[in-house]
């Protein structure tokens, strides 16, 4: 049994695909929001009053040996709340598509972040080129710094074994544990 796959079924949540073009080595996807209204980011009220449109381009993961670009038709809305200081705001797309003012989709941003963590700057840029992801070594490091690292949990117990036969000779071994391990451990408050 052969099932037909609709292109909107493959689109991220909230995105309506209008057109897909194959232009040389690129796949150009034209899309827009599926919703007729948007929520003001400051006051939280829903508005249907459209002020204007603009186009936003996002890079996405490559597909079948071609780079993918998503051209979004984004709208600016007027806020309907009389006491809200925001008069005009742009519609927000879902976080699984792209964060506010991003140039890459969330799934491409995750790949770039993991490449930067695993390989660093230049090696990750070289590997990304082979994966058909166009990013520089500086961009990879910038994404890693922006996303940050997990919070550091300070150790509860530190054990130190330090000795030398003569001055500037010998070995130093140190170990850090998060749980008490022996009577040699020094407890920190």
Q: What does pLDDT average to over the chain?
A: 80
Q: Are 58 and 30 in contact (CB under 8 A)?
A: no
**Across 39-59, average pLDDT:** 91
3-state helix, strand, coil in the chain (%, to 5): 20, 35, 45
Residue 184's pLDDT is 46
Domain span at 47:
1-98
| Domains contained in the chain, number | 3
pLDDT level of residue 187 (50, 70, 90 thresholds): very low
Pair (58, 116) in one structural domain: no
Q: How far from the centroid of its chain's Cα atoms is residue 81's Cα?
A: 32
Residue 55's pLDDT is 92
Domain end, chosen from 79, 98, 117, is at 98
Does the global pTM surpass 0.75? no
Pair (84, 164) in one structural domain: no
Pair (79, 17) in one structural domain: yes
Pair (9, 94) in one structural domain: yes
Pair (132, 174) in one structural domain: no
**Across 128-150, average pLDDT:** 87
Residue 75's pLDDT is 93
| Statement: residue 28 has pLDDT above 80 | yes
Pair (49, 115) in one structural domain: no
3-state secondary structure of 184: coil
Q: Which residues, 6+ apart, have CB-to-CB distance to 131 below 8 Å?
A: 62, 111
CA dist 84 and 40 (Å) reads 9
Pair (74, 12) in one structural domain: yes
Pair (172, 90) in one structural domain: no
| Statement: residue 36 has pLDDT above 80 | yes
Pair (51, 140) in one structural domain: no
Pair (80, 22) in one structural domain: yes
Residue 175's pLDDT is 47
pLDDT level of residue 157 (50, 70, 90 thresholds): confident
pLDDT tens digits, one per residue of 121-136:
899 999 999 988 989 9
Pair (169, 120) in one structural domain: no
Instruction: Give the tokens for residue 15.
Output: 């995105």
pLDDT level of residue 149 (50, 70, 90 thresholds): low
Pair (136, 165) in one structural domain: no
């Amino acid at each position: 049994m052969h099932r037909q796959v609709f292109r909107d079924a493959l689109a991220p949540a909230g995105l309506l695909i209008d057109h897909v073009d194959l232009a040389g080595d690129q796949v150009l996807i034209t899309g827009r929001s599926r919703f007729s209204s948007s929520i003001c980011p400051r006051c939280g009220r829903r508005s249907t009053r459209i002020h204007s449109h603009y186009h936003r381009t996002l890079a996405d993961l490559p597909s079948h040996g071609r780079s993918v670009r998503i051209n979004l038709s984004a709208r600016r809305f007027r806020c309907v709340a009389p006491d809200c200081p925001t008069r005009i705001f742009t519609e927000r797309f879902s976080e699984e598509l792209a964060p506010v003012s991003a140039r890459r989709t969330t799934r491409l941003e995750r790949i770039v972040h993991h490449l930067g963590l695993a390989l660093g700057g230049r090696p990750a840029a070289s590997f990304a080129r082979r994966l058909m992801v166009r990013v520089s070594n500086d961009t990879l490091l910038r994404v890693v710094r922006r996303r940050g690292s997990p919070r550091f949990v300070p150790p509860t117990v530190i054990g130190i074994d330090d000795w030398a036969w003569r001055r500037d000779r010998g070995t130093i071994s140190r170990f850090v544990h998060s749980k008490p391990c022996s009577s040699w451990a020094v407890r920190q408050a």
